[in-house]
Amino acid sequence: MVLVLPFLTVLIAAWYIWKRRQRTATVWWLLTMVIYIIWFIYQSTNTLNLSF
Partner 1 sequence: MVYMVRRLDALALLVLTAVLWGAFLIELYQHQLPCPLCLLQRVAFTMAGLGLLMNLRFGVRPAHYGVVILSSIAGLVAAGRQVLLHIVPGDPGFGEPFLGRHLYTWAALAFFGLLAYCGVALMLGFLRRNLSPRRFTFPEKFIAIAFLTIAMANLVSTLLECGLGPCVSGSFGYHWLWPIG
Binding site for partner 1 (CB under 8 A): 3, 6-7, 10-11, 13-14, 17-18, 20, 22, 25-26, 29, 32-33, 36-37, 39-40, 43-44, 48, 50, 52
Residue 30 C-beta: closest distance to partner 1, Å = 9
Residue 4 C-beta: closest distance to partner 1, Å = 9
Residue 39 C-beta: closest distance to partner 1, Å = 6
Q: What is the DSSP letter of 28?
A: H
The one-letter amino acid code at 25 reads A
Provide the CB-side half-sphere exposure for 22 (13 A, CA). 0
Q: Which of 29, 39, 35 is nearest to 21 (CA)?
A: 29
